[in-house]
């Protein structure tokens, strides 16, 4: 769905009925400061059209988002003096998505900033890596 959703806060920001600290606007994309930043300068990049999450994005909308992301990243690093960034898009409540209008978080990072994800790598049992590769490759070729 790409029409504005009446109850969507990001559609309201796009429409201008809800204020936001905008940093970049193109024909298809808007970037603005997150109101609850994990670090100062935490920026959100969204398509102006309403799509729920990354898997539902048409290629051309994804391309428009992807085209501005590096520029936003450079600006956030330059403006904040960050030593790095996390760029991520939470997809689904299970992954922490709270606003159902797709968005990329651009989060400035510094050593010792206390931001941490519980990143615990698993290992594949014998044959499981190849079986998984086949399943995903099959979906992509279908």
Q: Which position among 39, 82, 85, 101 is part of the footprint of Zn ion (CB under 5 A)?
A: 101
Residue closer to ligand 5GP by CB (options 15, 132) is 15
**By CB under 6 A, is residue 34 in contact with ligand 5GP?**
yes
Separation between Cα atoms, residue 100 and residue 5, nearest integer Å: 10
Calculate Rg over the CA atoms of the chain. 17
Separation between Cα atoms, residue 26 and residue 87, nearest integer Å: 20
Identify the three-state secondary structure at position 141: helix
Identify the three-state secondary structure at position 33: strand
Total of residues contacting ligand 5GP (CB under 6 A):
14
Report, in Å, the least distance between residue 30 CB and Zn ion.
Answer: 11
Q: Which position among 50, 57, 65, 68 is part of the footprint of Zn ion (CB under 5 A)?
A: 50
Report, in Å, the least distance between residue 13 CB and Zn ion.
Answer: 9
List strand residue ranges (DSSP E) for 48-136, in order: 84-88, 104-109
CA 2 to chain centre: 17
Report, in Å, the least distance between residue 121 CB and ligand 5GP.
Answer: 23
Cβ within 8 Å of residue 95, ≥6 positions away: none
Q: For residue 103, indicate whether it is catalytic.
A: yes
Give me the active site residues, please. 103
Contact residues for ligand 5GP, defined by CB under 6 A? 9, 18, 20, 32-36, 44, 90, 96-99
Summarize as ranges the residues that interact with Zn ion (CB under 5 A): 5, 8, 10-11, 50, 101
């Amino acid at each position: 769905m790409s029409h504005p959703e009446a109850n969507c806060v990001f559609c309201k920001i796009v429409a201008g009925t809800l204020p936001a600290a905008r940093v970049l606007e193109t024909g298809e994309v808007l970037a603005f400061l997150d109101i609850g930043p994990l670090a100062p300068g935490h920026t959100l990049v969204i398509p102006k059209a309403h799509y729920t999450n990354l898997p539902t994005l048409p290629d051309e909308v994804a391309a428009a988002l992807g085209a501005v992301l590096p520029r936003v990243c450079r600006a956030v690093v330059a403006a904040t003096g960050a030593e790095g960034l996390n760029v991520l898009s939470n997809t689904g409540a299970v992954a922490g998505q709270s606003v159902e209008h797709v968005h990329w978080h651009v989060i400035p990072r510094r050593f010792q900033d206390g931001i941490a994800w519980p990143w615990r790598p698993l290992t594949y049992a014998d044959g499981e890596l190849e079986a998984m590769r086949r399943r995903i490759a099959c979906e992509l070729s279908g």
